[in-house]
Structure 1
Amino acid sequence: MAAEADELKALHEFAVELAGAAMRTIAASRPEPATAGTKADAADWVTPFDREVERLTRDEIGRRFPGHRVVGEEYGAGDGDGFTWYVDPIDGTTNFVHGLPWSSYSLAGFDEDGVAVGVVADPARGEILSAVRGGGAFADGLPVSCRQVDSLAGEVLLTEWSKNRPWPGMYTVLTEVSDRFGATRIMGSCALALASVGAGRAAGALIPGRYNLWDVAAGALIAREGGALVHGRDGVSGGVPEDGILAAAPGVADEIWQLWRAAA
């Protein structure tokens, strides 16, 4: 069943606690390519710290909410039913391995009505972006909101590769944004890109490539609760689209979506 408002508030506070613990572990870690491994291919990095953070998250959820289910990037789906947590212990592991300061911890909790709470922690900034369904978006507990703009000129659109390759129409979209005097950035963490829209740091984030729920669910909730519109390929979505996702300030959301649709 769907969580009540008081329960959502408690789950949000719990998620923020988990994000803080994860952020401290990640910030204290010093990975390097020589000691990291790979999974599906040579561009798919994993470190012992990815696994450590996910284990810590799973252990704490199991201790506090033994009936909850956890689905994570490193250890897959656990047992349980009802409320489900999706965790990416380090989104942007390539950056993390190479010492680049753009990676994140992402955790989203789902009930029968969809994403209920979400947190995206940025270890480099020492900051936790979060949201609770119907309750707003926050940066370290303070309310945040998306940008109030009606033009791409001078604004930033974030995107990501599809794995390590361009997604269909990517170069066309980036060129069109540039022609409108907007800037584009490919930073390396889907979760942090989407959450940055809700925090008002980018006009939009477009992630059309392959992803899992743990990559985008928390960031999408933070964007939406910050006032952004969330689109799938077929239009505005109230959930987490499976066919690509755009989160953008209302004044430019349709323009970016039209560029994406025309280029695909």
Structure 2
Amino acid sequence: MTEYEVDRALRVAVELADRACRTIRDTGGTGASPTGPVREKAGPADIVTDTDEEVERQVRAVLRREFPDWGIDGEEYGVEPGAAGAPHWVIDPVDGTTNYAHGLGWCSFSMGLAEPDGNPLLGVVADPWRREVFTATRGGGAHLNGSPVRAADHATLTGHVFMTEWAAHAHWPGQDALLAELADRHCTVRVMGSTALSLVQVAAGRASAAAIGAFHPVDGLPALLIATEAGATATPRLPAYDEPLLLAVPKVAAEARELWNRTVRPGP
């Protein structure tokens, strides 16, 4: 893709993020319940609201008009294939629907663009409540509300923050052992309820590391690019679908990876 195409795609994505955040703020949030019913998908811990669907419909309509040959993969409406060799969008309209549906002000809009092989080209993660928009393009660095952002310079996990998420309502394999090791190091763990928003805290310098048990491109790929463009290290560099992911700031990467390999990815 040309630099002009990526820049244009990023401009459109940021405009869509702003529109999505307004919709999210208007329909729910802290101290309020979202309008419309809350419905189950795979089970009681996997839910969807009218806002999830409305935001994704709005985004898809714009993308079909502006980039008709590109594919789309969205959390609520699945895959629309693009032309052969074309990039594809990934969209999570409300990442953290459970928080949103219960009036907890920690969710996000996540959107990215990837090559046919899955390598990310751009990422946008927007926090409606704090009015923060994280952006990145491959090789172009990471930004927060338009200003460059870098991962923290911490040299140890001790005394700092480690972000993670459950697998919906459940712990994922190795998570309990990892949390115990982090507790022994006096590293404070936070489970906040939005994969995309948790991962970008590493990019913002607020967390030393973050981990998830199952990588899904619709909510993980944009944040992965933002964090690595901010200087974080990813293990693996580009996870396969449902593969665990670890992010760490540079000086903590070796320590975090050693714990990771001992607890989550032990050898035979």
Normalised by the shorter chain, which TM-score bucket? over 0.9
SS at 2:197's partner residue?
A: helix
TM-score (normalizing by structure 2)? 0.91
The percent of aligned pairs where both chains have the same amino acid is 41
Matched residue type, 2:68: P
Q: 2:188 aligns with which of 180, 183, 189?
A: 183
Counterpart-to-counterpart distance in 1, 2:254 and 2:35: 41
Q: Deviations over 1:174-205 (max 9, x none)?
A: 12112112110001111111111111111111
Q: How far did residue 141 of structure 1 move? A: 0.8
SS at 1:80's partner residue?
A: coil
Matched residue type, 2:187: G
Counterpart-to-counterpart distance in 1, 2:5 and 2:54: 28
Which residue of 2 is the match for residue 21 of structure 1? 19
Q: How far did residue 19 of structure 1 move? A: 0.8
SS at 1:172's partner residue?
A: helix
Counterpart-to-counterpart distance in 1, 2:201 and 2:4: 26
Q: How far did residue 6 of structure 1 move? A: 2.8
Which residue of 2 is the match for residue 62 of structure 1? 64
Counterpart-to-counterpart distance in 1, 2:211 and 2:191: 10
Q: Does structure 1 residue 146 correspond to structure 2 residue 144?
A: no
Counterpart-to-counterpart distance in 1, 2:177 and 2:138: 34
Q: Is the 8 A contact 2:233 2:253 kept in 1?
A: yes
Distance 1:174 1:33, change over 3 A: farther
Q: How far did residue 254 of structure 1 move? A: 2.1
Aligned CA-pair RMSD: 1.5
Which residue of 2 is the match for residue 8 of structure 1? 6
Q: 2:110 aligns with which of 100, 106, 114?
A: 106
Q: Does structure 1 residue 44 correspond to structure 2 residue 49?
A: no
Q: Is the 8 A contact 2:90 2:111 kept in 1?
A: yes
Structure 2 spans left out of the alignment, 5+ residues = none
How many residues align structurally? Answer: 256
Q: Is the 8 A contact 1:195 1:218 kept in 2?
A: no
Q: Deviations over 1:128-149 (max 9, x none)?
A: 1111110011111111010111
SS at 1:40's partner residue?
A: strand
TM-score (normalizing by structure 1)? 0.93
Q: Is the 8 A contact 1:217 1:240 kept in 2?
A: no
Which residue of 2 is the match for residue 97 of structure 1? 101
Which residue of 1 is the match for residue 206 of structure 2? 201
Which residue of 2 is the match for residue 246 of structure 1? 246
SS at 1:201's partner residue?
A: coil
Counterpart-to-counterpart distance in 1, 2:177 and 2:82: 44
Q: Deviations over 1:124-174 (max 9, x none)?
A: 111111111100111111110101111112210000111211111212211
Q: 1:75 aligns with which of 74, 77, 82?
A: 77
Which residue of 2 is the match for residue 262 of structure 1? 262
Which residue of 2 is the match for residue 156 of structure 1? 161
Q: Does structure 1 residue 174 correspond to structure 2 residue 172?
A: no
The runs of at least 4 consecutive aligned structure 1 residues that moved more than 2 Å come to: 4-7, 30-35, 239-242
Q: Is the 8 A contact 1:158 1:185 kept in 2?
A: yes
Counterpart-to-counterpart distance in 1, 2:167 and 2:216: 12
Larger deviation: 131-140 or 163-172? 163-172
Counterpart-to-counterpart distance in 1, 2:67 and 2:190: 39
Distance 1:34 1:51, change over 3 A: closer
Matched residue type, 1:109: L
Structure 1 spans left out of the alignment, 5+ residues = none
Counterpart-to-counterpart distance in 2, 1:49 and 1:34: 8
Q: Is the 8 A contact 1:33 1:97 kept in 2?
A: no
Matched residue type, 2:218: W
Distance 1:194 1:100, change over 3 A: same
Matched residue type, 2:12: F
